[in-house]
């Protein structure tokens, strides 16, 4: 029995080589929840970014005189469906608040702030977590002290301390950067500084494992410096857990910011964020439930979609699950 | 195990001291004066004396050890006096709240039952719901029950308590009028009718808290069950001819519960933090609400004591979780 020699076509791979990210994308696409989540998140981001330019009402305008009486406390236009006599105005699709400011406009600008806070805080926390994790994992001398620091931060009661810190620094930063900029910087810093610990732990663990691998030894044997070693060889290999915790970090940051606003420790009163809108509407929710529902829905929907994306990303980046 | 526990207990002392110092120094920066509410007719020198009496204006290296002494020595002495009728603590200065000018610990002890009732019941309810959901979801992975359960837990995970709380108030107390929207802490349970009222006012806060805890726990339970269901010992157990019930509920469940139990222990202090928001929504005057009002009123001794109690709870339950893990899983050895 003789074996027929394989021809060139049979040896050659059937398909052109695929990059790792193409595989990840394929796996991600097959996770239905993650795809829906991604669409919804992109839609919310677009709506919030583009919306205020396209939308016709300025959320900051407080009508005066006769306008104030006709425009205040209008209901969303869909209220007509079950309450024919309701006070609605077709130019104000979601109605107005008790000062006559347009709700949809406030929702859109509020979303800008909430998402900006979420993204900025997430970036800060991921950068902090990655730096601390890599340093602790790569340099043995730093490991002990950095991990004690991480444990210490994990043992702090964070929400009470956040509340105290907001109260402490709000006035000083408001003086330096203006009431809005100051609060923005304060909240982003606080949320970032109090949420890096998980990322640091995961990154440290991965770096510790990678350090023992042959390619690191090979790189070291040709005299790679620590900085190059970290940026060229270690960081690309810990990208996937970092990406997952970055996605989930947006969700945590948005919730924390809204919680602070809800407890009255957030942005100044005339500066809407979703949490702030919700907080302002609670007192009159019996008469105007929609003012509570819309901001709350927006927060929940954003966080839900981000969590689904994070879930899908985790599956897609895990090579053991891929292809199943 | 015992040496490990003792070592961890000793190690937690410097941690807690450091945390309390951090909290203290942070609060030291706080603007505000406890005399701000005193009428203007009180002469300045009297105000100065009142400030002195409250211990304001002392440098931190005097005031902080003083607080430590009051918290760790004087307060337990008072506690012992109250229980055993001794009088060790006579003439000792306790930690005094700037807001009410009464001892901080007295107020905390007044507030604890409300928090424990709501949070404790919610935690138990959540565990009772989460475990069966997690187990069945994992056993029938990708079934409609699993998909629905995953979606619901994801929603519960994502909807923040300040929205779900407000939502249930709008639905159940505004539209349907079934439950009161405010938790009445002065309500006393004396007979069947008052017990029913208590139950009615507890349902909504418990529901909101339990939804959150359930979603975290059942996701964890499901993942832990899935890890174990594909193990070799499960196949062996099935091959031996054990019934499916024995395999899942005894072999797999007992192994899967190990990490879940530690997560339950770790979650207890976090629940007090989460309860701050829920208490605020339903106006339960528990510990979380006390903290918020103390922060707003610049009542530094109160804030210091409460945050420190939270820190103690976190460190304590971390320790408990680690020890439980060691006891439940003989493969884990701390040496």
Cβ–Cβ contact A144 with B under 8 A: no
What pLDDT is stored for residue B273 in this prediction? Answer: 60
What pLDDT is stored for residue B157 in this prediction? Answer: 81
- Long-range Cβ contact pairs of A217-220 (< 8 A, separation 24 or more): none
Query: Computed over its alpha carbons, how large is the radius of gyration of chain B?
Result: 24
Of the candidates B174, B14, B83, the one whose C-alpha atom is nearest the C-alpha of residue A281 is: B174
Among the partner-chain residues B166, B292, B315, the one whose CB lies closest to the CB of A296 is B166
B55: left (phi over 0), alpha (psi -120 to 50) or beta: left
For residues A292 and A200, the model is more confident at: A200
Chain B contacts of A259, Cβ < 8 Å?
Answer: 160, 162, 277
Q: Torsions phi, psi of A102, nearest 5?
A: -70, 130
In a domain, A157, yes or no: yes
| Per-residue pLDDT tens digits for A234-287 | 888 888 888 888 888 888 888 888 888 888 887 777 778 888 888 888 877 777
Q: What b/e string do you get for B25-46 counting C-beta neighbours within 10 Å, with b at 16 or more? A: ebbeeeeeebbeeeeeeeeeee
Of the candidates A315, A320, A134, A139, the one whose C-alpha atom is nearest the C-alpha of residue A232 is: A134
In a domain, A1, yes or no: no
Q: Is A97 helix (H, G, I), strand (E, B) or coil?
A: coil
Q: Which of A101-115, A119-133, B56-70 has the highest average model confidence (pLDDT)?
A: A119-133
Looking up tokens 């695929």 gives A18
Cβ–Cβ contact B204 with A under 8 A: no
Q: Torsions phi, psi of B40, nearest 5?
A: -70, -20
Inspect the interface and report whether the beta carbons of B162 and A262 lie closer than 8 Å.
yes
Give the CATH number for residue A241.
1.10.3720.10
In chain A, how many domains are there? 1
Chain A contacts of B292, Cβ < 8 Å?
Answer: 163, 263
> pLDDT over 90 for what percent of chain B?
1
- What is the Cα–Cα distance from A100 to A102, expressed in whole angstroms? 6
Strands (E), B22-135: none
- What is the Cα–Cα distance from B279 to B289, expressed in whole angstroms? 6
Q: Read out DSSP for A33-63? A: HHHHHHHHHHHHHHHHHHHHHH-SS-TT---
In a domain, A91, yes or no: no
Inspect the interface and report whether the beta carbons of B273 and A159 lie closer than 8 Å.
yes
- What is the Cα–Cα distance from A311 to A125, expressed in whole angstroms? 19
Binned at pLDDT 50, 70 and 90, residue A125 comes out as very high
Inspect the interface and report whether the beta carbons of B303 and A262 lie closer than 8 Å.
no
Contact at 8 Å (CB) between A285 and B173? no
In a domain, A68, yes or no: no
In a domain, A218, yes or no: yes
Inspect the interface and report whether the beta carbons of A303 and B170 lie closer than 8 Å.
no
Token representation of residue A225:
């410096």
Q: Read out DSSP for B123-190? A: HHHHHHHHHHHHHHHHHTTTSHHHHHHHHHHHHHHHS-HHHHHHHHIIIIIIIS--S-SS--TT----
Inspect the interface and report whether the beta carbons of B307 and A300 lie closer than 8 Å.
no
* CA angle (A49, A51, A56) in 5-degree steps: 145
- What is the Cα–Cα distance from A103 to A74, expressed in whole angstroms? 10
Per the structure, the complete domain to which residue A195 belongs is given by 24-61+101-317
Residue B326 has a CB neighbour count (10 Å cut-off) of 17
Token representation of residue A71:
């425009």
- Flag whether the pTM goes above 0.90: no
Cβ–Cβ contact B17 with A under 8 A: no
Token representation of residue B91:
């003439």
For residues A134 and A78, the model is more confident at: A134
In a domain, A86, yes or no: no
In a domain, A141, yes or no: yes
Binned at pLDDT 50, 70 and 90, residue A223 comes out as confident
Binned at pLDDT 50, 70 and 90, residue A313 comes out as confident
In a domain, A122, yes or no: yes
Cβ–Cβ contact B28 with A under 8 A: no
What pLDDT is stored for residue A324 in this prediction? Answer: 47
> pLDDT over 90 for what percent of chain A?
6
Q: Torsions phi, psi of B72, nearest 5?
A: -95, -20
Does the structure's ipTM exceed the value 0.85?
no
- What is the Cα–Cα distance from B100 to A160, expressed in whole angstroms? 20
- For residues B15-39, average pLDDT: 76
């Amino acid at each position: 029995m003789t074996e027929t020699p394989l021809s060139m076509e049979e040896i050659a791979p059937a398909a052109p080589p695929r990059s790792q990210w193409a595989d990840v994308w394929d796996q991600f696409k097959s996770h239905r929840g993650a795809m829906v989540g991604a669409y919804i998140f992109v839609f919310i981001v677009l709506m919030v970014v583009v919306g205020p330019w396209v939308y016709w009402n300025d959320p900051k305008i407080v009508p005066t005189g006769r306008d104030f009486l006709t425009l205040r406390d209008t209901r969303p236009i869909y209220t007509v469906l079950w309450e024919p006599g309701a006070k609605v105005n077709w130019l104000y699709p979601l109605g107005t608040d008790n000062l006559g400011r347009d709700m949809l406009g406030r929702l859109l600008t509020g979303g800008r702030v909430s998402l900006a806070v979420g993204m900025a805080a997430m970036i800060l926390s991921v950068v902090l977590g990655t730096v601390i994790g890599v340093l602790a994992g790569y340099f043995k001398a730093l490991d002990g002290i950095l991990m004690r620091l991480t444990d210490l931060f994990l043992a702090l009661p964070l929400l009470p301390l956040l509340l105290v810190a907001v109260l402490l620094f709000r006035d000083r930063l408001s003086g330096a950067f203006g009431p809005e900029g100051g609060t923005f910087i304060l909240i982003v810093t606080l949320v970032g500084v109090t949420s890096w610990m998980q990322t640091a732990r995961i990154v440290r663990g991965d770096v510790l494992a990678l350090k023992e691998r042959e390619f690191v030894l090979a790189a070291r044997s040709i005299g790679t410096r620590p900085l190059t070693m970290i940026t060229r060889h270690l960081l690309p290999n810990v990208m996937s857990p970092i990406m997952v915790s970055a996605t989930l970090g947006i969700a945590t940051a948005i919730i924390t910011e809204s919680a602070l606003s809800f407890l009255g420790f957030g942005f100044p009163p005339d500066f809407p964020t979703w949490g702030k809108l919700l907080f302002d509407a609670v007192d009159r929710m019996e008469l105007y439930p929609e003012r509570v529902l819309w901001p709350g829905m927006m927060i929940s929907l954003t966080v839900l979609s981000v969590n689904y994306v994070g879930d899908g990303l985790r599956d897609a980046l895990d090579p053991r699950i891929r292809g199943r | 195990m015992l040496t490990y526990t003792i070592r961890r207990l000793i190690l937690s002392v410097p941690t807690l001291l450091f945390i309390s110092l951090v909290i203290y120094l942070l609060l030291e920066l706080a603007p505000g004066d406890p005399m701000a509410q005193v009428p203007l007719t009180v002469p300045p020198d009297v105000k100065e004396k009142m400030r002195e009496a409250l211990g304001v204006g002392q440098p931190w290296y005097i005031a902080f050890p003083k607080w430590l002494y009051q918290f760790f020595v004087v307060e337990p002495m008072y506690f012992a006096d109250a229980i055993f009728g001794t009088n060790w603590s006579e003439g000792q200065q306790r930690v005094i709240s700037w807001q009410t000018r009464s001892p901080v610990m007295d107020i905390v002890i007044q507030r604890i039952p409300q928090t424990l009732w709501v949070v404790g019941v919610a935690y138990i309810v959540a565990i009772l719901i989460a475990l069966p959901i997690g187990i069945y979801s994992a056993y029938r992975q990708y079934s409609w029950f699993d998909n629905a359960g995953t979606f619901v837990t994801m929603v519960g995970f994502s909807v923040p308590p300040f929205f779900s709380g407000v939502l249930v108030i709008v639905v159940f107390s505004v539209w349907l009028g079934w439950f009161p929207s405010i938790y009445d802490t002065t309500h006393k349970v004396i007979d069947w009718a008052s017990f029913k009222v208590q139950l009615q006012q507890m349902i909504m806060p418990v529901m909101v808290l339990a939804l959150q805890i359930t979603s975290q726990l059942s996701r964890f339970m499901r993942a832990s069950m899935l890890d174990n269901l594909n193990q070799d010992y499960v196949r062996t157990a099935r091959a031996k001819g054990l019934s499916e019930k024995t395999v899942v509920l005894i072999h797999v469940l007992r192994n899967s519960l190990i990490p879940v139990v530690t997560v339950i222990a770790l979650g207890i202090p976090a629940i007090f933090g989460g309860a701050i928001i829920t208490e605020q929504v339903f106006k339960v005057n528990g510990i979380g609400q006390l903290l918020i009002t103390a922060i707003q009123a610049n009542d530094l001794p109160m804030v210091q004591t409460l945050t420190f109690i939270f820190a103690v709870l976190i460190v304590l339950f971390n320790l408990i979780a680690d020890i439980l893990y060691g006891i439940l899983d003989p493969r884990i050895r701390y040496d």
